[in-house]
């Protein structure tokens, strides 16, 4: 053996040195070890208060070895950190399980009980059956599983208010703790919105709690670890309540959903070191008062008089002798449920970019970004100074502050200062959608230091990125993501600014695929789907908005969220349980349609239908317009939902029901073609949306698909632009690409004039608009009754950017990115693309560029996943990591000007190169 030596300071290590041999062995083990990281329970990191008795566990695996896979795993779970080792784990030791599953592994240990705390770790074995190191510990905590676990009472203030909109009630109570404290948990909820305080400090960092749900059946509670906020001796607990969604106003000025008082329930459980437990609960011993929040509502905003602040009101020793009592109410506890989704939080802050003085005399701060949240004021003004902030998304063409599109939503903050130096104010129980803030009443010069925009949304991790060589398309992606941020505030809303802000089902279902790329959405959608099932009518009709506060529902393309959204969660996250949990809801919706369709298997809806909402309206005399027949679309969605239900039945092991829905699909398809399709493949509704939906859902005979796709492409070329509304936009580029009309897809993407995706970008949009022409080419506005500038539905094109342009695709046969299909589609001016998605297994990325007639693609596949990579090529072979590799040729449909060279890879980073010549 060659005697290699290396100098290190004054020492010389020999290869024969025992110390060096040990070091090399350690390095070898570390280099090849499989290490689980990013442990999650029920899609979340260290969740507290879950009400799932069979939780599921996921982890990502780190390894420096390429083409690495998990061959086995072992999970241990213990009731205390001290017991968390393989010899002592008292809740579950899975032992070594030969399986590659690392996503959503089901618990199979001792029965879990209410308030159960549990710590867990996992280790995995690699493809050569070599064990890796144990992960760092993770944690989860079960919530209140039974209504009887709640000993606290619902209470409300005893103060009588004459006006419906009344000041925010404050509540307080003092209590003593006389033993050493081991731990403490606060379980709490409200009818309305709440902030809890302990000894003067706000509990937790969540905002707008308990969130927005179908309150009558599902009212969320939260669980907080408050151990560090308590002390021996006298303590104080305080609560402030706001109206929130519970008492929100609709455009007609009436309360929604009902005239209820705000109430609170709270249960503080303190565990001492001796094992005893003391419970401090909301009951009739509490006191209540009002304070500085004179009015606070979702749509209106907030009126706050800082002179009415009560210093120390949530601390021990405060004089509450003038406070009133409380009333114990009869509100039920059976509807209290654990929080499923990530909470709403303050995510980031934005500094205004400039001050604008409008022609009409307003002083306006421009934050440079249409955002959702509120403003934080920084003041040093005399006591009694009243400052008003009004919020708007846009300025009109003259440069004046524009709020007409807000309808009845005031979106204002009125703050009266108390006169101290460095005064800071931000609201608690409202939020606004805005880019521009009009400031009035401020006695000094308004500068960009006066306020900050506080961005608020559900705290979902951003999991997707897309960029390319076209700055306008990069801004489009930015706008799509910010539209999602602003409208994912506990529910997927249509818009965040006007007097609506509702969970419209149609918007959610068309955007769900894009949403799952951009942000970690499984828990968010799971929570919303629970509300959908709760609000679904007995006959299966699904309301238009969830939580329901409007009409009965039953609209095609909207109610189909019941089937489409669960499927997308399954596809993107490998979540089988969501299909089984939502199965009855999915089935009820399809059976509702089947009953209305009758023996003809043609659905002629009896309820209000929206159709291809906000499709392009044309005045051309040689074309009948872009309005697609609603009955046509209804039957397309009938077929599609039946198909998704069939797949859910197959996956859930319901084979007989799967056969039934396969048979139903066949009958729907036959009836549809007889009613709406000519023998030559022309559709009764000769619109882009009609062809897109029929082809996307697979309703046409294979023999007619080519002719139908040709008609679609011809329509695109005839108009030169998109004409679709909400239902057609999501899939138009997918369908064109599938049938070989890639040029037409890119034509739509790159178009900058109205109507197009980039037209709003040229108008300085920073989020997606509700309408193609929210701001018309002449600078005027569309109908203010329906003209949101933050409305994500048309942002559904993001799915095509990820799947087709970048080429990152989950495989329905192995969902959740266990198997990945990488298949980018370059064309025209697009010559450089970089995209990534943080999947349940880790980061998947695709980055490609075209240089000197070469297509160069760099792909990253996470550990424990595999991929098929299809690389565009004009001729020649496939080079992988500098070496020619075997590949299979795949010829695409239609006029796509290249073939694909396909190969299979395991985890790791790979660079592919082909010869590619594009005209």
Q: CA 357 → CA 49, 368, 379, 433, 435, distances in Å?
A: 50, 15, 21, 21, 15
At 254-300, the pLDDT tens digits run 544 444 799 999 999 999 999 999 999 999 999 999 999 999 999 99
Average pLDDT over residues 92-101: 98
What is the per-residue pLDDT for 145? Answer: 96
pLDDT above 70 as % of the chain: 94
Those residues with Cβ within 8 angstroms of residue 40's Cβ, 6 or more apart along the chain or in another chain: 57, 58, 59, 138
Answer yes or no: 770 catalytic: yes
Answer yes or no: 269 catalytic: no
* 3-class secondary structure, 339: coil
At 863-886, the pLDDT tens digits run 999 999 999 999 999 999 999 999
pLDDT at 67 over 60: yes
pLDDT at 183 over 50: yes
Q: Which candidate, 497, 561, 575, 552, places its Cα nearest to that of 528? A: 561
Average pLDDT over residues 434-447: 98
What is the per-residue pLDDT for 6? Answer: 34
Name the pLDDT band for 162 (thresholds 50, 70, 90): confident
What is the per-residue pLDDT for 909? Answer: 98
Bond before 547 cis per omega within 30 degrees = yes
pLDDT at 10 over 90: no
At 672-682, the pLDDT tens digits run 999 999 999 99
pLDDT at 250 over 70: no
pLDDT at 669 over 80: yes
Average pLDDT over residues 900-909: 98
pLDDT above 90 as % of the chain: 91
Q: Which candidate, 574, 455, 568, 470, places its Cα nearest to that of 517? A: 568
pLDDT at 29 over 60: no
pLDDT at 31 over 80: no
| CA atoms of 768 and 798, how far apart (whole Å) | 11
Average pLDDT over residues 481-509: 97
Mean pLDDT of the chain: 94
At 290-328, the pLDDT tens digits run 999 999 999 999 999 999 999 999 999 999 999 999 999
Average pLDDT over residues 636-664: 98
Q: Note whether 895 and 825 are within 8 A (CB).
A: no
Locate 180 and state its tokens.
């050493």
Q: Where are the beta strands (DSSP E) in 69-180?
A: 72-78, 92-93, 97-98, 105-106, 117-125, 138-142, 155-157, 169-177
- Residues present in the chain in total: 919
Q: Note whether 171 and 165 are within 8 A (CB).
A: no
pLDDT at 621 over 60: no
The C-alpha torsion from 88 through 93 and 96 to 101, rounded to 10°, is -140
Q: Which candidate, 669, 678, 668, 736, places its Cα nearest to that of 704? A: 678
At 187-242, the pLDDT tens digits run 999 999 999 999 999 999 999 999 999 999 999 999 999 999 999 999 999 999 99
| CA atoms of 436 and 357, how far apart (whole Å) | 12
At 346-366, the pLDDT tens digits run 999 999 999 999 999 999 999
User: Using CA of residue 821, residue 826, residue 830, residue 833, what is the dihedral sign?
Assistant: positive
Name the pLDDT band for 252 (thresholds 50, 70, 90): very low
Name the pLDDT band for 919 (thresholds 50, 70, 90): confident
| CA atoms of 512 and 518, how far apart (whole Å) | 10
Name the pLDDT band for 618 (thresholds 50, 70, 90): low
What is the per-residue pLDDT for 251? Answer: 40
Q: CA 394 → CA 298, 467, 817, distances in Å?
A: 20, 26, 40
Q: Note whether 586 and 563 are within 8 A (CB).
A: yes
What is the per-residue pLDDT for 146? Answer: 95
Average pLDDT over residues 752-773: 97
69, 297, 770, 913: which is the annotated catalytic residue?
A: 770
Name the pLDDT band for 249 (thresholds 50, 70, 90): low
| CA atoms of 158 and 263, how far apart (whole Å) | 11
pLDDT at 902 over 90: yes
pLDDT at 857 over 80: yes
Q: Is residue 844 left, alpha or beta, with left meaning phi > 0 and alpha meaning psi from -120 to 50?
A: beta
Query: pTM to 2 decimals?
Result: 0.95
35, 263, 297, 500: which is the annotated catalytic residue?
A: 500
Q: Is residue 917 left, alpha or beta, with left meaning phi > 0 and alpha meaning psi from -120 to 50?
A: beta
At 502-549, the pLDDT tens digits run 999 999 999 999 999 999 999 999 999 999 999 999 999 999 999 998
């Amino acid at each position: 053996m060659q005697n290699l030596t290396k100098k290190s300071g004054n020492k010389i290590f020999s290869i024969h040195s025992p110390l060096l041999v040990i070091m090399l062995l350690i390095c070898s083990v570390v280099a090849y070890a499989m290490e689980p990281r990013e442990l999650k329970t029920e899609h979340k990191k260290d969740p507290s208060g879950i009400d799932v008795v069979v939780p599921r566990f996921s982890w990502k695996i780190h390894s420096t070895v390429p083409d690495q896979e998990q061959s086995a795993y072992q999970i241990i779970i213990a009731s205390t950190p001290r017991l968390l080792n393989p010899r002592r784990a008292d809740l579950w030791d899975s032992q070594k399980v030969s399986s590659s599953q690392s996503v959503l592994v089901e618990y199979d240990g001792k029965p879990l009980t209410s308030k159960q705390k549990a710590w867990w770790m996992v280790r995995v074995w690699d493809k050569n059956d070599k064990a890796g190191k144990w992960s760092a510990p993770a944690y989860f905590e079960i919530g209140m599983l039974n209504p009887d676990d709640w000993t606290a009472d619902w209470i409300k203030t005893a103060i009588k208010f004459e006006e419906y909109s009344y000041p925010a009630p404050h509540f307080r109570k003092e209590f003593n703790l006389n033993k050493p404290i081991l731990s403490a948990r606060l379980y709490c909820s409200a009818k309305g919105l709440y902030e809890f305080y302990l000894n003067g400090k706000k509990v937790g960092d969540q905002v707008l709690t308990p969130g927005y749900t179908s309150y009558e059946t599902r009212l969320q509670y939260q669980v907080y670890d408050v151990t560090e906020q308590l002390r021996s001796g006298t303590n104080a607990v305080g609560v402030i309540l706001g109206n929130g969604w519970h008492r929100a106003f609709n455009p007609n000025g009436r309360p929604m959903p009902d005239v209820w008082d705000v109430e609170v329930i709270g249960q503080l459980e303190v565990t001492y070191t001796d094992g005893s437990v003391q419970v401090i609960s909301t009951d009739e011993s509490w006191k209540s008062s009002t304070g500085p929040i004179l009015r606070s509502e979702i749509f209106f905003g907030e009126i706050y008089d800082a002179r009415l602040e009560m210093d120390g009101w949530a601390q021990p020793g405060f004089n509450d002798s003038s406070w009133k009592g409380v009333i114990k109410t009869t509100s039920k506890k059976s509807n209290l449920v654990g929080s499923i989704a990530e909470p709403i939080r303050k995510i980031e802050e934005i500094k205004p970019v400039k001050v604008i003085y409008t022609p009409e005399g307003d002083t306006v701060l421009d934050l440079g970004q249409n955002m959702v949240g509120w403003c934080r004021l920084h003041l040093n003004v005399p006591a009694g100074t009243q400052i008003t902030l009004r919020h708007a998304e846009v300025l009109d063409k003259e440069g004046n502050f524009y709020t007409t599109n807000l309808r009845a939503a005031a979106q204002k903050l009125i703050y009266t200062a108390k006169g101290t130096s460095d005064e800071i104010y931000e609201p608690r129980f409202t939020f606004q959608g805005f880019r521009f803030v009009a400031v009035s009443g401020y006695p000094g010069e308004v500068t960009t230091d006066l306020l900050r925009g506080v961005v608020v949304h559900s705290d979902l991790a951003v999991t997707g990125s897309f960029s390319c060589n076209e700055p306008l398309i990069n801004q489009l992606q930015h706008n799509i993501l910010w539209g999602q941020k602003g409208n994912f505030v506990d529910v997927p809303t249509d818009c965040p600014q006007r007097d609506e802000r509702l969970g419209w089902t149609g918007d959610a279902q068309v955007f769900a695929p894009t949403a799952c790329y951009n942000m970690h959405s499984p828990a968010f959608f799971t929570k919303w789907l629970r509300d959908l099932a709760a609000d679904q009518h007995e006959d299966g009709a699904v309301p238009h908005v969830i939580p329901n506060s409007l009409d009965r529902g039953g609209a095609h393309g909207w109610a189909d969220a019941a089937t489409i959204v669960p499927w997308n969660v399954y596809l993107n996250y490998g979540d089988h349980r969501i299909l089984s949990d939502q199965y009855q809801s999915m089935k009820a919706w399809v059976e509702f349609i089947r009953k209305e369709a009758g023996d003809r298997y043609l659905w002629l809806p009896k309820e209000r239908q929206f159709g291809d909402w906000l499709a392009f309206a044309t005045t051309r005399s040689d074309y009948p317009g872009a309005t697609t027949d609603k009955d046509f679309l209804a039957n397309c969605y009938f077929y599609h939902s039946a198909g998704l239900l069939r797949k859910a039945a197959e996956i859930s092991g319901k084979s007989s029901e799967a056969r039934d829905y396969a048979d139903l699909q066949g009958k729907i398809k036959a009836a549809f073609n007889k009613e709406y399709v000519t023998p030559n493949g022309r559709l009764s509704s000769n619109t882009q949306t009609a062809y897109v939906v029929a082809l996307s859902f697979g309703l046409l005979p294979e023999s007619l698909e080519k002719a139908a796709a040709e008609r679609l492409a011809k329509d695109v070329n005839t108009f030169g632009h998109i004409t679709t509304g909400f239902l057609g936009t999501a899939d138009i580029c997918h369908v064109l690409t599938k049938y070989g009309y890639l040029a037409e897809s890119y034509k739509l993407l790159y178009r900058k004039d109205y109507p197009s995706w980039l037209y709003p970008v040229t108008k300085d949009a920073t989020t997606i608009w509700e309408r193609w022409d929210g701001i018309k080419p002449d600078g005027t506005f569309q109908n203010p009754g329906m003209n949101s500038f933050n409305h994500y539905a048309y942002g559904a094109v993001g799915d095509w950017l990820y799947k087709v342009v970048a080429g990152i695709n989950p495989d329905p046969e192995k969902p959740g990115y266990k198997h990945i299909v990488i298949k980018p589609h370059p064309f025209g001016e697009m010559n450089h693309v970089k995209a990534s998605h943080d999947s349940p297994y880790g980061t998947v990325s695709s980055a490609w560029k075209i240089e000197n007639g070469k297509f160069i693609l760099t792909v990253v596949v996470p550990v424990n996943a595999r991929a098929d990579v299809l690389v565009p090529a004009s001729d020649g072979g496939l080079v992988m990591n500098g070496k020619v590799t075997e590949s299979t040729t795949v010829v695409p449909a239609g006029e796509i000007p290249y073939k694909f060279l396909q190969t299979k890879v395991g985890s790791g980073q790979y660079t592919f190169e082909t010869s590619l010549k594009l005209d």
